């Protein structure tokens, strides 16, 4: 489903010629370790330690088998969204002035804070994308269910995953038919009304589709239970990987404490 956003033909899953190290690990362990990793990194403050965390995330990316450039590009897209807030920070935080633009003082403290946010955000999102994002979406649903996520929430997520592609295609069909009728978007009431009708039509079709889905599921005796097709097993490799991650996190925390004391 990843290509929804990029328009590329293949999802970013790690099935290459090389069997990637990460994709053979237990999905449940990957999710748990990612959450622990994220919480730890968010708690870190020291820029040197955060750089270490980012390097760790890069290493995860390297062993995940995800396409290097594409994943980093996606990360850079997120940076594009936050860059505005980050640029503002040096000017809004009080502290030692660095230089001034139009009478506004930029401070070193603000610059450090901005760098800290950028490092944290990138380290965490990279780890999330490599450890969890490299899973098949359905596997993620099953793993979340195995980790005691409420059954209905998992169902809802699986339906969403399943139908994103279908509805994306429907959206593109509707856009094509609009184009055929000579629609050209611009800044005017006609455009906004047409887009509104487009969204409305998508909702109407979605609800009608869901009625057919429900009928088909009832016909097959759907009872609301999630049937797991594969059983997850924690292997020795999983334990070793989790141990290595825990060790790396412990090292990061130790470095943070050591730098704070120094």
Residues 184-203 that bind another protein (CB under 8 A): 185-187, 189, 191-203
Beta carbon nearer to another protein, 108 or 159: 159
Q: Does 204 bind another protein (CB under 8 A)?
A: yes
Stretch near another protein under the rule CB under 8 A, chosen from 17-25, 78-86, 236-244, 248-256:
78-86
Smallest distance, another protein to C-beta of residue 173, A: 12
Beta carbon nearer to another protein, 55 or 239: 55
Q: Which of 1, 98, 111, 147 binds another protein (CB under 8 A)?
A: 1
Q: Which of 38, 62, 146, 246 binds another protein (CB under 8 A)?
A: 38
Do the beta carbons of residue 196 and residue 203 sit within 8 Å?
A: no
Q: Does 65 bind another protein (CB under 8 A)?
A: no
Q: Give the closest residue to 33 by CA, choosing from 124, 148, 155.
A: 124
Place of tokens 């609009």: 178
Beta carbon nearer to another protein, 18 or 186: 186
Beta carbon nearer to another protein, 66 or 242: 66
Q: How far is CA 155 from CA 41, 129, 143, 161, 163, in A?
A: 31, 22, 12, 10, 12
Site string for another protein, 164-183 (x = CB under 8 A): x-xxx--x------------
Beta carbon nearer to another protein, 157 or 248: 157
- Within 229-258, the residues that bind another protein by CB under 8 A are none
Stretch near another protein under the rule CB under 8 A, chosen from 16-24, 208-216, 233-241, 248-256:
208-216
Site string for another protein, 122-161 (x = CB under 8 A): --xxx-xx--xx---x--x---------x-xx-xxxxxxx
Q: Which of 4, 239, 250, 257 binds another protein (CB under 8 A)?
A: 4
How far, in Å, CA of 91 to CA of 108, rounded?
9
Q: Residues near 36 by Cβ (< 8 Å), separated by ≥ 6?
A: 245, 246, 249
């Amino acid at each position: 489903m990843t290509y929804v956003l990029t328009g590329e033909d293949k999802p970013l899953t790690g099935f290459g010629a090389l069997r990637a190290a990460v994709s053979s690990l237990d999905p449940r362990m990957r999710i748990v370790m990612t959450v622990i990793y994220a919480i730890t990194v968010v708690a870190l403050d020291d820029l040197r330690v955060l750089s270490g965390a980012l390097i760790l995330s890069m290493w995860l990316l390297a062993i995940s088998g995800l396409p290097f450039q594409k994943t980093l590009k996606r990360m850079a897209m997120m940076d594009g969204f936050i860059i505005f807030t980050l640029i503002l920070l040096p000017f809004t935080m009080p502290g030692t002035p660095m230089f001034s633009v139009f009478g506004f003082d930029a401070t070193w403290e603000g610059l450090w804070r901005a760098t800290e946010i950028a490092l944290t955000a990138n380290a965490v999102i990279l780890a999330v994308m490599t450890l969890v994002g490299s899973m098949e979406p359905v596997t993620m649903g099953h793993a979340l269910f195995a980790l005691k996520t409420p059954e209905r929430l998992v169902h809802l997520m699986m339906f969403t995953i399943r139908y994103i592609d279908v509805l994306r295609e429907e959206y593109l069909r509707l856009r094509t038919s609009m184009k055929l009728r000579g629609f050209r978007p611009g800044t005017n009431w006609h455009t906004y009304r047409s887009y509104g009708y487009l969204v409305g039509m998508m909702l109407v079709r979605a609800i009608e589709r869901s009625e057919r889905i429900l009928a088909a599921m009832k016909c097959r005796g759907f009872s609301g239970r999630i049937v797991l097709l594969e059983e997850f097993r924690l292997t020795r490799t999983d334990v070793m990987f989790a141990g290595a991650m825990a060790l790396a996190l412990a090292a990061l925390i130790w470095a943070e404490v050591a730098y704070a004391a120094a």
